[in-house]
């Protein structure tokens, strides 16, 4: 499946209760149902024992038990097209700048996060490497082949950054180290730097230090939920998942100490039941620590425990996107901003003309993430259509055009400037 054809127009988003934001009360995940024994821990794949045949394309090949990290990793559809291991075109994008790699095992991720397509409860209906994640398929490719292709391209590589996404698995700490070593043995990490999207649940301070010592550039923590209550409901006890808010913060603080200012950050999903003020207070907290936030607009991932819930309304998303950019890159503080009684942004802490300047520039509405080679506030990790369909873009994987900015202004409920 290409990244163009999933999800249709599900995100012409209005909140379930008719209000213009996703409230806590309206964003309750479904409870997970028990997985039949015959489908647990990759049993189907292990018993079929099909031999590996190089690249695995979801829905085209048969999964094999040998397809596990560190020998294999999965990569986003965008990365697979850019690397040339998969054919296809991306709407309005010629390539992605980030080679997103994901550890893979027949047993899959042992966590059960409610918004995630990779969650454990899906074992009943899809084998791990066949699951959709942030709206796209993730082909599995031998790590040696990836390194060979990128090393062969040398200075001509389209990639500005590589990212290793750990999942929750007993082997993920060791295998992240092996994947990082396989990369740095052939590719200079000062040419294509490496980010780690960590799994704090299995990590200690020494693990964070080891990744830094081996050449990782940026360390991020996928906090995802903006408040402890949402975290617990979507990634902890609420869905029989092992994660704990406090442990995530512990590892985030290790990352701050070890990787240093501007070299650590957190992923946050907007629209899972937090108020805009809660989310932006968290963004401020990260900036005060010396880090950055990378935002995702909630999208109901097919097959997840939240696939019945509404995507984040566009006005909520745009307000948070703009305010986060101003806090992260323009020195505005959350306490200078104005919020209404429901925690929605009604003032950005800047004169109107200044706000208009940032809106017109458009960078605030691009995908946020670890930087590439263009400028510090432009993410290498552009995740084309990872949080929306192309027909109603949430995070722009390219510089928005004048026409895009007109749509963004309408979504922000700012009058369209003529001329």
Q: What is the DSSP letter of 34?
A: P
Q: How far is the CB of 253 from ligand SF4 (least distance, A)?
A: 20
- 333 and 286 Cβ atoms separated by less than 8 Å: no
Task: Write the binding mask 21 to 50 for ligand SF4: x where contact by CB under 6 A, - elsewhere.
Answer: ------------------------------
Segment interacting with ligand SF4 (CB under 6 A) among 56-64, 92-100, 112-120, 390-398: 112-120
78/109 with CB nearer ligand SF4: 109
Q: By CB under 6 A, is residue 101 in contact with ligand SF4?
A: no
Which residues are CB-contacts of 246 (< 8 A; sequence separation ≥ 6)? none
Q: How far is the CB of 193 from ligand SF4 (least distance, A)?
A: 22
Q: Which long-range contacts (CB under 8 A, 24 or more apart) does 224-229 make?
A: 224/113, 224/115, 224/267, 224/268, 224/269, 224/272, 224/296, 225/268, 225/269, 225/272, 225/274, 226/268, 226/269, 226/270, 226/272, 226/274, 226/278, 226/279, 226/282, 227/273, 227/274, 227/278, 227/282, 229/24
Q: How far is the CB of 168 from ligand SF4 (least distance, A)?
A: 4
Q: Which residues of 274-298 are buried (b: 16+ CB within 10 A; e: fewer)?
A: bbbbebbbbbbebbebebbbbbbbb
Q: By CB under 6 A, is residue 113 in contact with ligand SF4?
A: yes
| Of 358, 374, 375, residue with least CA distance to 318 | 358
Q: How far is the CB of 360 from ligand SF4 (least distance, A)?
A: 35
Segment interacting with ligand SF4 (CB under 6 A) among 107-115, 136-144, 182-190, 361-369: 107-115
Q: Among 130, 167, 187, 255, indicate the residue that binds ligand SF4 (CB under 6 A).
A: 167
Q: Among 74, 82, 157, 168, indicate the residue that binds ligand SF4 (CB under 6 A).
A: 168
| Interface of this chain with ligand SF4, residues 116 to 145, rule: CB under 6 A | 116, 118-119
Q: Among 27, 109, 179, 255, indicate the residue that binds ligand SF4 (CB under 6 A).
A: 109
- Cα separation, 114 vs 241, whole angstroms: 9
113/266 with CB nearer ligand SF4: 113
113/378 with CB nearer ligand SF4: 113
Task: Tell me the HSE value of 336 on the side-chain side, using a 13 A CA sphere.
Answer: 13
Q: By CB under 6 A, is residue 203 in contact with ligand SF4?
A: no
- Cα separation, 72 vs 240, whole angstroms: 28
| Of 75, 72, 92, 91, residue with least CA distance to 83 | 75
Task: Give the residues lining the site for ligand SF4 (CB under 6 A).
Answer: 109, 111, 113, 116, 118-119, 167-168
């Amino acid at each position: 499946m290409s990244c163009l054809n999933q999800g249709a127009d599900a995100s012409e988003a209005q909140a379930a209760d008719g209000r213009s934001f996703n409230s806590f009360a309206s964003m309750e995940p479904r409870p997970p149902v028990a997985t039949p024994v015959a489908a647990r821990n990759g049993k189907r794949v292990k018993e079929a024992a099909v031999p590996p045949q190089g690249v695995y394309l979801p829905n085209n090949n048969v999964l094999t038990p040998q397809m596990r990290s560190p020998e294999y990793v999965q990569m986003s559809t965008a990365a697979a097209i850019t690397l040339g291991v998969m054919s296809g075109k991306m709407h309005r994008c010629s390539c992605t700048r980030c080679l997103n790699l994901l550890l893979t095992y027949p047993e899959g991720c042992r966590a059960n996060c409610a918004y995630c397509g990779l969650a454990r409860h899906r074992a009943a209906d899809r084998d791990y490497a066949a699951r959709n994640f942030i709206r796209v398929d993730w082909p599995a490719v031998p790590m040696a082949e990836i390194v060979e292709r990128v090393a062969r391209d040398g200075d001509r590589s389209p990639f500005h950054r590589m990212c290793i996404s750990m999942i929750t698995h007993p082997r993920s700490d060791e295998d992240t180290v092996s994947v990082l070593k396989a990369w740095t043995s052939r590719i200079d990490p000062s040419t294509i730097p490496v980010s780690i999207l960590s799994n704090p649940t299995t990590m200690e301070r020494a693990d964070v230090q080891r990744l830094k010592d081996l050449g990782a550039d940026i360390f991020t923590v996928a906090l995802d939920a903006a408040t402890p209550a949402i975290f617990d409901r979507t990634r902890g006890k609420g869905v029989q998942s092992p994660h704990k808010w406090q442990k995530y913060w512990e590892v985030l603080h290790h990352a701050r100490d070890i990787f240093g200012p501007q070299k650590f950050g957190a992923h946050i999903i907007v629209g899972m039941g937090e108020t805009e003020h809660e989310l932006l207070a968290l963004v401020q907290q990260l900036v005060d620590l010396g880090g950055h936030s990378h935002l995702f607009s909630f999208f109901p991932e097919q097959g997840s425990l939240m696939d019945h819930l509404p995507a984040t309304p566009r006005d909520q998303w745009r307000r948070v996107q703009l305010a986060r950019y101003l806090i992260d890159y323009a020195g505005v503080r959350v306490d200078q901003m104005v919020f209404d009684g429901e925690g929605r942004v009604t003032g950005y802490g800047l004169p109107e003309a200044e706000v208009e300047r940032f809106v017109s520039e458009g960078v605030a509405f691009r995908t946020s993430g670890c930087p590439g080679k263009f400028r510090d506030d432009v993410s290498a990790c552009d995740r084309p259509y990872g949080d929306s369909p192309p027909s109603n873009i949430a995070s722009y994987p390219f510089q928005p055009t004048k026409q895009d900015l007109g749509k963004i202004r309408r979504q922000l409920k700012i009058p369209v400037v003529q001329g």
